[in-house]
Chains A and B, each alone.
Chain A
Amino acid sequence: MSAPVKGRPPRVGDAPAFRRALIGVVLTLVAIVIIAPLVIIGYQAFSQGLKVYAEAIAHPDTLHAIGLTVITALIAVPINTAFGVAAAWAITKFDFWGRRFLLVVIEIPFSISPIVAGVAYLFVYGLQGLFGPALESADIKILFALPGIVLASMFVTAPFVARELIPLMQAQGRDLEEAATSLGASGWRTFFFVTLPNIRWALLYGVVLCNARVMGEFGAVSVVSGNIRGQTNTLPLHIELLYHDYQTSGAFAAASILALLAVVTLVAKVLLERHGAGRARRRPALAAPVAAAKTASAEVSS
């Protein structure tokens, strides 16, 4: 069933027996580690039949959780996208002091435990936090309400759009934009008609990944949401609640929606990668902020 890549002499590891054995072992592990979790979600969700599945999805608390998750994404993703574009424009089109440091700061949320993020937000907006007492007396609710959920989601996904755009825009340079401006185009016109067409696939790629993470975020949101059933429970939190209530089929029914979202995200990812999205990050810069900054400084100095 397997063959070495055509048209080249045999290379290391091309011995048929070794090749077949390695492919066999790897595919078995892929089936166990990656495919089985996906299959069991569908299996458990529909184990009680289609009717129970439909009832579980149509339960008011589940519908509310879906709604809250969608609203959170509708707020967090556009703001995050605007930030990602602004950050990429500032960092790749201009030289300024502290640029490299800014890149590192933008990437920080990527390496921090979501629980730490949640705890940190508590110390800003919670009653024991910096602004908690002031917010309380002004009767503004941030924690255990939608604003807190949105803020925590924005923290965990802050780098998602920026880190797709920065390596790409770095590689594209500034010549086109400079030509457009020198021909009299305004800044916005330059952005929408010169820059945006060049970065649209990478932008969409970042938005898709950002959306998937916002809708699936668990740790950070579970700290700041307060888990109020039917009020501040997003879909991932609702899954936990049902699961610990021993409502297994309900939990898996809710989980199947997020699993479907993950599959759709993967399909979108593959389609966007055909347009070259994701490559600028994967190839030269290996997603390293320091490395990206180094390439940038090398470009500037040459």
Chain B
Amino acid sequence: MARRILPGFPLALGITLVYVSIIVVLPLGALVFKAASLGFEDYWRIVSSPRAVASYRVTALSALGATVFNLVFGMALAWVLVRYRFPGRRFIDALVDLPFALPTAVAGIALTTLFAENGWFGSVLAHAGIKVAYTPLGIMVAMAFTSLPFIVRTVQPVLEDLDPALEEAAQTLGGSDRSIFLRVILPLLTPALLAGLSLSFARSLGEFGAIIFIAGNQPMSTEITALLAFIRLEEYDYQAAAAIASVLLITAFLMLAVTNILQARALRYTARG
């Protein structure tokens, strides 16, 4: 096989490598270097401090809650957009991407205003005794908003390509809608759902802008890990900032690996169908 018939390889690869090195690899390398220079004992002391552990807890639990909400809502939204025709469908379809297009700080102040105790939704919920803003529930709302498009956008194409013959076969065999959904459709959607779930969860773990406005940011209860890293910086405690940021970095890499495996599986699944 003749290689490199086309020109421009050294230039294109050169630009790519220089850019990736300066913009991506160098800063992440510097962060890892800084965290590694701490020594194991100091590092462990910082990342296992009660305040840090509390921040992991609230971040992970809120991300889990937001992801479960998105799983149900995102799937229902994808289903409605693909399977039904109703006025405004295209408009809603386009709006699904709003959380990606809207800057996180803007989303943050908008959600806080809506869910504050005197806000449109907050006042209604306050009557029911539910407080959203400045509680972990608020963190969950912000995370759910910013990561909503992931599940919709991974499930939607699979749902569009679903072979109607499978459902028809199940219908002729006398399956009820419920059992066909659970035993035929859901298994076919599962790889895409898992891929969307991991993307959504990963995004929620790293989200910052939308959350800090609505969270209340109380240490030990409503302080997310990203904010703790930020606070340590503002206190000029650079070692602690590096250590906590490295925990987020490691988590991101783990989630990236999980997402890639799940997406590759989702792709194999759809390619076969």
A contact residues vs B (CB 8 Å cutoff) = 1-6, 8-9, 11-15, 18-19, 22-23, 25-27, 29-30, 32-38, 40-41, 44, 82-83, 86-87, 89-91, 93-96, 102, 104-109, 111-124, 126, 128-130, 151, 154-155, 158, 174, 177-178, 181-182, 186-187, 190-191, 209, 212, 215-219, 222-223, 236-237, 239-240, 243, 248, 251-252, 255, 258-259, 262-263, 265-267, 269-270, 282-291, 294
Taking a contact as CB atoms closer than 8 A, the residue among A18, A19, A22, A108 that contacts B24 in the complex is A108
Given contacts A94-B9, A112-B206, contact A3 B109 (CB under 8 A): no
Question: Quick check: is B103 within 8 A (CB to CB) of the other chain?
Answer: yes
A82 and B5 contact, CB distance less than 8 A: no
The number of residue pairs between A and B whose CB atoms lie closer than 8 Å in the complex comes to 333
**Chain B residue at smallest Cβ distance from A242:** B109
B106 and A259 contact, CB distance less than 8 A: yes
Taking a contact as CB atoms closer than 8 A, the residue among B30, B111, B208, B249 that contacts A129 in the complex is B30
Question: Quick check: is B173 within 8 A (CB to CB) of the other chain?
Answer: no
Taking a contact as CB atoms closer than 8 A, the residue among A26, A87, A239, A251 that contacts B12 in the complex is A87
A12 and B167 contact, CB distance less than 8 A: yes
Minimum CB–CB distance for A10 against chain B, Å: 9
B80 and A187 contact, CB distance less than 8 A: no
List residues of B (1-38) whose CB comes within 8 Å of A's CBs: 3-9, 11-13, 15-16, 19-20, 23-28, 30-31, 33-34
- Note all chain B residues with C-beta closer than 8 A to A94: 3-4, 6, 9, 12-13
B263 and A216 contact, CB distance less than 8 A: no
A181 and B33 contact, CB distance less than 8 A: no
- Report the interface size class on chain B: 35 or more
B13 and A90 contact, CB distance less than 8 A: yes
- Note all chain A residues with C-beta closer than 8 A to B102: 37-38, 216, 258-259, 262
- Note all chain B residues with C-beta closer than 8 A to A19: 84
B260 and A155 contact, CB distance less than 8 A: no
Taking a contact as CB atoms closer than 8 A, the residue among A12, A115, A236, A288 that contacts B185 in the complex is A12
B contact residues vs A (CB 8 Å cutoff) = 3-9, 11-13, 15-16, 19-20, 23-28, 30-31, 33-34, 73, 76-77, 79-80, 83-87, 90, 92, 94-107, 109-111, 113-114, 120-121, 144-145, 148, 153-154, 157, 164, 167-168, 171, 177, 180-181, 185, 192, 195, 202, 205-209, 213, 226-227, 229-230, 233, 238, 241-242, 245, 248-249, 252-253, 255-256, 259-261, 263-264, 266-267, 270-271
- Note all chain A residues with C-beta closer than 8 A to B185: 12
Minimum CB–CB distance for A114 against chain B, Å: 6
SS class, residues of chain A in contact with chain B: helix
Given contacts A40-B114, A111-B259, A239-B109, contact A158 B19 (CB under 8 A): yes
- Note all chain A residues with C-beta closer than 8 A to B20: 87, 102, 105-106, 158
Given contacts A174-B6, A288-B263, contact A239 B106 (CB under 8 A): yes
Minimum CB–CB distance for B180 against chain A, Å: 5
B85 and A4 contact, CB distance less than 8 A: yes
Taking a contact as CB atoms closer than 8 A, the residue among A26, A35, A266 that contacts B76 in the complex is A26
B110 and A124 contact, CB distance less than 8 A: no
